[in-house]
A and B are shown apart, each in its own frame.
Chain A
Amino acid sequence: MVEDQKQEVGSSATIASDLPKGVALLADLATNLNNATATFDVLAEKIKNGELNSAKGLSLLELKNQSFLTYMANLVYLTLRKLKGLKIEKDSSIDRLVEARVVLERIRPLEDKLKYQIDKHVKTAADGVVSADDTLRLTGNLDNIVSSSDDDEEKEVTSKVKKTDDEEQKIYKIPKITQAHYDGEAKKNEAKEKARRRTLNSSMLRDALLEHTEDPEVVYNNDVLKQRAIKKRRELEVFEEENMIRKVVSRRDKAAMRQMTTLGTMGSEILGFNTMDALQHDYDPSAPAAKRQKTGKSSKSKGKGKFKGKKGFKKQKHRF
């Protein structure tokens, strides 16, 4: 009993404090309503006259308008019912309200994406300037349009046209299905190059060229067989120093390391006369090699001529 009395007193106190606020709010409400009615009258006249025709406009915005209207209508209905003291439980208008609300919430992100375009359109409508440049400027900014959730909207907002499409269509590009094996276009050239190099470096040609160059003559000790022996010796040296051990070299190997080149081994290089073929342009290294090999072998076997082994070699020496 005491508590109820207290509550009554409390409520009356709050009422007393809130009363001036309530009065002020009511006054505000009155003024706002007056303003709203004025604007509505203007709008209604415009619609009646047919000035605001939204047939060619964005359907999204149309949808937004309609959903807003339903929302407002249903809300007003419910507030009226409440003012009259009626219940609003399980009213069908609540479902309609919820639907409208959901639609509005879904529209909002889409509208955000189209904001740029809408603003541009509005601007051109307000300015009244329509030139050739504008159509390009009105094209979509691809950064803003992220997802393709609603395709209809995006088709209206056209993207840029690729300038090089026509050019690309003219050039024929081979369709790449599988890997193509690339054979020796390079290999053929390699063999040719190798043969060419070999002839150029042959002793015969080099001697011939020496007559015509003005470079100082450099004499190398490049006996063919000794190279091998020198190589072997070097390998042995490296091995011995790595492992701190002295290897026993057989007498034969020792002799080989000191061997001089004899005519019998070098003959083919000196006496082969058809070595100039490789320098020709139409030289084909894969041509019948029998011809070349034959002469090489024959020069070796023809050691029965003037230059006959050691004796022959000695003879040559004495000439000088």
Chain B
Amino acid sequence: FCVDPKHEIMGKESETTATVRTRKFLTNRLLNRKQMVVDVLHPDRATVPKSEIKEKLAKMYKTTGDVVFCFGFRTAFGGGKSTGFALIYDTLDYAKKIEPKYRLVRQGLLEVKKTARKQRKERKNRMKKARGTAKAKLAAATKKE
């Protein structure tokens, strides 16, 4: 067993590449997208990351990677095969309208500004002390930026 430094540098990508196959392809005209079940075959390899699958699908369907959303990947027992879903939108606008927020966040198209959890809880506790219009004032004062 010899250690190839090149492979180490490249990270987790091993000698064998993953095969991406799609099943149950359906063009959903109502939501302006194509939806499918994705089978990934990756023997001798850990589960393939979603980004890689995204790039592969974009190449297959001749679109950019930012309209491809893949999710729900489950690796079969024993490894080597995982199954998930993928949606490919017609345009990014439709994607932004239709996709749920968490997936947009994953993709990096949306940013949710969250104050620290501790801060939120402290604010809530402070608001508990006030009543009526004072409460509203306090809420405005400590409003999220």
Binding site for B on A (CB under 8 A): 240-242, 244-246
Contacts and interface: CB of A to CB of B under 8 A. Distances in A.
A245 B35 CA distance: 12
B74 A241 contact: no
B37 A241 contact: yes
A244 B74 contact: no
Contacts of A240: 72
Nearest to A242: B24
A241 B24 contact: yes
B72 A246 contact: yes
Interface residues of B, number: 8
Interface of B: 23-24, 35, 37, 72, 74, 85, 87
13 contacts: A240-B72, A241-B23, A241-B24, A241-B37, A242-B24, A244-B35, A244-B37, A244-B72, A244-B85, A244-B87, A245-B72, A246-B72, A246-B74
A244 B24 CA distance: 10
Contacts of B23: 241
A245 B84 CA distance: 9
B71 to A, nearest CB: 8
A246 B74 CA distance: 9
Contacts of B35: 244
- In this complex, the member of A241, A242, A245 whose beta carbon has the largest number of chain B beta carbons within 10 angstroms is A241
Nearest to A243: B85
Contacts of B85: 244
Contacts of A245: 72
A240 B83 CA distance: 11
A42 B136 CA distance: 143
Contacts of A241: 23-24, 37
Nearest to B87: A244
A232 B106 CA distance: 32
A245 B37 CA distance: 10
A38 to B, nearest CB: 103
Given A240-B72, A244-B85, A245-B72, 10 more contacts: A241-B23, A241-B24, A241-B37, A242-B24, A244-B35, A244-B37, A244-B72, A244-B87, A246-B72, A246-B74
Contacts of A246: 72, 74
Nearest to A241: B37
Nearest to A244: B85
A246 B23 CA distance: 16
A318 to B, nearest CB: 27
A240 B73 CA distance: 12
A246 B37 CA distance: 12
A300 to B, nearest CB: 31
Contacts of A242: 24
A182 B50 CA distance: 64
A240 B37 CA distance: 10
